[in-house]
């Protein structure tokens, strides 16, 4: 398992290598939680940068021995939610209203799907759980902490989301 606490000592000394390692270990989770909420590529990029800047500025608030990755993802989530509230006043969970506005990326292979198609039927909460788990390999136990829901509920939401997506993809490409 990656030793975050060991690297954080080096990061406090502004060690670039330690920062690179921490960044590589955490970028998927940070990105996943941000795009689940804001869904705009340019803003997601800015919020990723803001997340790491805020992490550096608040490093003394992190308690060694705790889950650093979950702590950082929570910073990213709070920044994304703050942004969303400013833009929309309230966070909607209506999947139609939340139509994905990411740039369409051409599939790697013609037989593959783009992200927009795959997660289109999901609401914000389902998107957050799916992207955290699938994109950043975050454990369900940690996701339960991040989304502040019981573990069983998280697993249920995840499996419901998987079923929704499979049904949706089946309709898209029979």
Partner 1 sequence: MNRSDLKKFIKRAALAQMPDVFDRIDLQNAYVAGVPEQPTRRVRPFNYAFALKAMLVLILATVTGVFVYDQLQPEPPVVLALETEAEIYGFQMVSATSLLSQITATDLALTVKFGDHDTTTAPIQESETLITDQIEKITDYLNTMEVMLAEDDETVYEVTPSDVDGYQWKLTFTTVDLLGNVLTYTIYYNEVLDPEDASRRLIDGVMTMSGDEYSLSGTVTTEGDTVRTRFIAARGDDSIEITDLTDADGQKYQYDVTKDGQPYESLHMQLSREDGALVATIDHATATSSAEYRFRRLADGSGFEITYRYEKNGETETGRMGVTVEYDEVSEGYNYQYDVEAQTGSHQGHSSHSGGRTSKTNGSSDHGMNTSFTL
Residues 31, 36, 41, 46, CA torsion sign? negative
- Told to check if 2 binds partner 1 by CB under 8 A, we report no
The region of 47-55, 67-75, 78-86, 90-98 touching partner 1 under the rule CB under 8 A is 47-55
- Told to check if 14 binds partner 1 by CB under 8 A, we report yes
Q: What is the rounded CA–CA span in Å between residue 12 and residue 50?
A: 18
The region of 41-49, 63-71, 74-82, 92-100 touching partner 1 under the rule CB under 8 A is 41-49
Q: What is the rounded CA–CA span in Å between residue 98 and residue 7?
A: 38
Task: Using CB under 8 A, pick the residue from 123, 135, 147, 149 that binds partner 1.
Answer: 135
Apex 46 CA angle, 45 and 48, nearest 5: 65
Size of the residue set binding partner 1 (CB under 8 A): 58
Q: What is the rounded CA–CA span in Å between residue 121 and residue 54?
A: 32
Least separation, in Å, of the C-beta of 59 and partner 1?
A: 4
- Told to check if 3 binds partner 1 by CB under 8 A, we report no
Using DSSP, state whether 161 is helix, strand or coil: helix
Least separation, in Å, of the C-beta of 85 and partner 1?
A: 22
């Amino acid at each position: 398992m990656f030793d975050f606490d060991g690297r954080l000592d080096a990061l406090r000394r502004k060690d670039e290598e330690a920062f690179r390692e921490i960044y590589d270990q955490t970028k998927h989770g940070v990105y996943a939680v941000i795009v689940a909420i804001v869904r705009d590529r340019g803003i997601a990029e800015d919020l990723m940068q803001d997340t790491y800047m805020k992490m550096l500025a608040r490093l003394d608030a992190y308690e060694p021995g705790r889950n650093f990755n979950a702590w950082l993802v929570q910073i990213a989530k709070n920044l994304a939610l703050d942004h969303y509230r400013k833009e929309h006043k309230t966070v909607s969970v209506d999947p139609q209203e939340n139509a994905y506005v990411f740039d369409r990326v051409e599939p790697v292979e013609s037989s593959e799907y783009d992200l927009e198609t795959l997660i289109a039927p999901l609401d914000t909460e389902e998107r957050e759980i799916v992207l955290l788990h699938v994109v950043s390999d975050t454990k369900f136990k940690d996701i339960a902490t991040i989304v502040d829901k019981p573990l069983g509920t998280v697993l249920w939401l995840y499996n419901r989301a998987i079923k929704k997506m499979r049904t949706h993809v089946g309709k898209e490409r029979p």
